[in-house]
Structure 1
Amino acid sequence: MRLVVISDTHGLHNRIQGLPEGDLLVHAGDFMNSGFDVEDIFSFNTWLGEQSFPHRVVCAGNHDRYFQMAPEMARPLLTNAIYLENSGISIDGVSFWGSPYTPEFLNWAFMYPRGSAANRYWDQIPHGLDVLITHGPPFGILDQTAPGEPHLGCEELLKAVEEKKPKVHLFGHIHGGAGLFENEATRFVNAAYLNERYKPLAPAGQIRVVDL
């Protein structure tokens, strides 16, 4: 299965030109901008429906406030993708599990205080998982706004990934950390589309492809 992965488009999905071909499109959150404008969801859903993928999977992010404030209204609007929120699905024999939650930062959506509070989400990650989708990165992996800057990922998420060893971990959130990293157990992809200035420039503007 070929996955085409993006994240952090912040309402600029219509500017993406020529997605690579693949079997499944993954968006790892922050498809809205302020998170209050329902038109962002309509536009994003229309764009998803225009993409020539047999399958599409979406996870929310901290900018997608409407999905936390009014989930009973927001979720039905996303008709052209499978939406994951602390939940999973199997597609053509490949298992996926996704969560929008990230450590606290200002007054955004889907956040928790650093420390053990995160485990209410990461304890749910299944063992033997093929693809983990979280909006934010694990601590120390593709989680800096620029080289030499502090690591902003979640320590508890790192522990969960090290324990459960998904084959692939997809995320975004930290735009400046966009890129690829691999250890002996897991391939990590920060697929943020925009850079730290919210511009679709390299390397963040590169679309990531993962072959399973």
Structure 2
Amino acid sequence: MRIVCISDTHSMHRQIEVPDGDLLIHAGDCLGVGTLDELADLDRWFSELPHPNKILIAGNHDWCFQDEPAEARELVRHAHYLQDSPLELEGLKFWGSPWTPVFFNWAFNLERGEAIAERWAQIPDDTDVLITHGPPAGILDRISSPTGTIRPGCDDLAERVARLSLKLHVFGHIHEDHGQEQIGDCLHVNASTCTGSFKPVNPPIIVDL
């Protein structure tokens, strides 16, 4: 299966070139300000792409999935929307989840510790491909600042991922650390399309499973 990974397009999806593949994964922050109108346009764009399957999760900018969940889910007609839920495609088991540790006042934020760990505990042990909006602590979560490097990834997610036998973990959220990192049998992909200055120039990442 050829998997094309993108994330953090922030309603600039029509400015990017997406390679062909069997599956397109969008790991959240698909919208700019999080409106239903933006989501409707995203779904129209999905309908124009050739990938037989598409998976979408929400991110911290995607307010309509939190505030108007029924209306938002109804608009997604050309992708599988996952929110703490599974999907099986061609023998691979996927799980998608939008949560990130509290950062100012954004959608799908939970406090570090028990609150967010409860979400990660829902991930089935036999998951092959995990899609979260944010990274685990210490993996493709670097932000450079005048005072040094900040790594805001989720410790509780890192602990859960370490106990799973994943083949692939796709996320975004930290625009500045786009790329791939192989740890054991799992390939971690930060698929953020936008850079730290919100320019949609980071290329999609292709993974063959």
Deviation of residue 185 (structure 1)? 2.6
Moved more, 90-99 or 110-119: 110-119
TM-score, normalised to structure 1, is 0.95
1:137 lines up with 2:135 in the alignment: yes
Q: State yes or no: 1:170 paired with 2:170.
A: yes
* Alignment: residue pair count: 207
Structure 1 counterpart of 2:23: 24
| Amino acid aligned to 1:194 | C
By how many angstroms is 1:115 displaced? Answer: 1.5
Counterpart residue number, 2:66: 68
- Compute the TM-score of the two structures, normalised by the length of structure 2: 0.96
Hey, what's the Cα distance between the residues in 2 that align with 1:121 and 1:86?
7
Aligned-partner Cα distance in 1 for 2:172–2:200: 14
Cα distance between partner residues in 2 of 1:81 and 1:200: 21
For residues 101-158 of structure 1, the C-alpha deviation after alignment (integer angstroms, 9 at most, x for no partner) is 0000111100101112111110011112110000000000000123852111000000
Mapped to 2, the partners of 1:40 and 1:31 lie a distance apart of: 9
Structure 2 Cα separation of the partners of residues 92 and 187 of structure 1: 19
Match of 1:146, SS state, is strand
Rounded Cα–Cα distance in structure 2 between residues aligned with 1:58 and 1:146: 28
Q: Matches of 1:41 and 1:183 in 2, distance apart?
A: 34
Asked whether the 8 Å contact 1:85–1:99 carries over to 2, the reply is yes
Q: Percent identity?
A: 44
Cα distance in 2, alignment partners of residues 5 and 146 from structure 1:
24
Alignment of 1:12 onto 2:27: no
**Equivalent-residue separation in structure 2 for 1:209 and 1:128 (angstroms):** 23
**Aligned match for 2:42, one of 22, 44, 50:** 44
- In the alignment, is the contact (CA less than 8 A) between 1:146 and 1:177 conserved in 2? no
Tell me the distance in 1 between the aligned counterparts of 2:86 and 2:124. Answer: 9
After superposition, residues 48-197 of structure 1 pair within 5 angstroms as 48-146=46-144, 148-197=148-197
User: What is the Cα deviation at residue 67 of structure 1?
Assistant: 0.2
Structure 1 residue identity aligned to 2:207:
V
Q: Secondary structure at the match of 1:157?
A: helix
